[in-house]
Amino acid sequence: MDTFIQQIINGLVLGSMYALVALGYTMVYGVLNLINFAHGDVLMIGAMVGLSILKGLEIVAPGLPGYVNLAIAIAGAIPVCMIVNVLIERVAYRRLRNAPRLAPLITAIGISTLLTTFSMMIWGRSPLSFPQLLSSEPLHIGGAVISQTQVLLLALAAMSMGALVLLVEKTKLGRAMRATAENPRVAGLMGVDSNKVIVATFAIGAALAAVAGVMWGANYSSIQFAMGFLPGLKAFSAAVLGGIGNIYGAMIGGILLGLIEALGAGYIGDLTGGFLGSHYQDIFAFVVLIIVLTIRPSGIMGERVADRA
């Protein structure tokens, strides 16, 4: 039971980060009907910028509490990621909105490669150590433990997802986003500026990815220029699992994929008689994903986005 509780905690932590990134995928798809495969690299940029800010704080303002340093790192990473993602939309995707779907897909892969290469040039090839900002003293839940960093990560993820739901459901921008997702032409006739809505969608998704990137570094204590690929792939899978285009589906899919991966890591060795170890957890997660999509291709929460005319 102690192992089970521990793996549930690990799954919730991992799934929260997947959910934050998956929201960026699902919002862009819902509004633009496009998959931004460079979104995982926005997480990487958030982590790298956050680390650079922390190193700068060590020089100009040493001795600040860890929570303050982390808050400053997140606050600095968010606008940088927003600018990067808005530039991606403006330069790479805007002219391809009416192009065949293969064109923006290839462009997204190219942008991902460019971001990875530029990051390698700026921050180097070697993995970088992310400083431990909070106390290493763990909190005990039954026989399991959770670090203060993980508690903060869960709290930030919950607040970010709650704020997004309020924005989408209760604000004028949220109504414009939902109208554009439903039918961009009719929304335009009703006075909705689709370009502004799309830019806002990319910016919001980037802000969530920045939070996930900094917290990823704080949780795992190591980052590197190619770190965005696998989390981005899994977050996209989580969005598909939950129902691409549905923000609630992205949250559920992210948490569920994290739990599957964590429980798979904890028990896959026993389930396979020692044939597979915990490092095969990716196989376990994607096998479950394939099974779910075979049974329900639209994902757990289905698809709320209308087909384009």
Length of the chain, please?
309
pLDDT band at 309 (very low <50, low <70, confident <90, very high): very low
Element holding 223 (H helix, E strand)? strand 222-223
Would you say 262 and 11 are in contact if contact means Cβ atoms under 8 Å apart?
Answer: yes
How many of the other CB atoms lie within 10 Å of CB of 142? 11
- How much is the average pLDDT of 197-211? 94
pLDDT band at 307 (very low <50, low <70, confident <90, very high): very low
Residue that is written with structure tokens 């993602």 in the block:
85
**How do residues 28-78 score in pLDDT, each as one tens digit?**
998 888 888 899 999 999 999 999 999 999 888 888 888 999 999 999 999
pLDDT score, position 277 = 63
**How do residues 100-148 score in pLDDT, each as one tens digit?**
878 888 898 999 999 999 999 999 999 999 998 888 888 888 778 899 9
pLDDT band at 4 (very low <50, low <70, confident <90, very high): confident
pLDDT score, position 137 = 84
CA–CA distance, 192 with 187 (Å, rounded to integer): 5
Residue bearing the bigger pLDDT, 98 or 114 = 114
Is residue 163 over pLDDT 50? yes
Q: What value does the mean pLDDT of the chain take?
A: 87
Would you say 87 and 26 are in contact if contact means Cβ atoms under 8 Å apart?
Answer: no
Helices (H), 221-297: 229-242, 247-271, 281-295
What SS3 class is residue 128? strand
Confidence (pTM): 0.90
Is residue 216 over pLDDT 90? yes
How many of the other CB atoms lie within 10 Å of CB of 77? 29
Least Cα distance to 205 among 13, 68, 14, 38 occurs for 38
Which tokens hold the place of 202? Answer: 């990319």
Is residue 166 over pLDDT 60? yes
Is residue 202 over pLDDT 90? yes
Residue bearing the bigger pLDDT, 270 or 178 = 178
How many of the other CB atoms lie within 10 Å of CB of 113? 12
pLDDT band at 209 (very low <50, low <70, confident <90, very high): very high
Least Cα distance to 21 among 199, 239, 169 occurs for 239
Would you say 30 and 245 are in contact if contact means Cβ atoms under 8 Å apart?
Answer: yes
| Least confident interval from 18-27, 72-81, 255-264 | 255-264
**Beta pairing partners, 227:** none
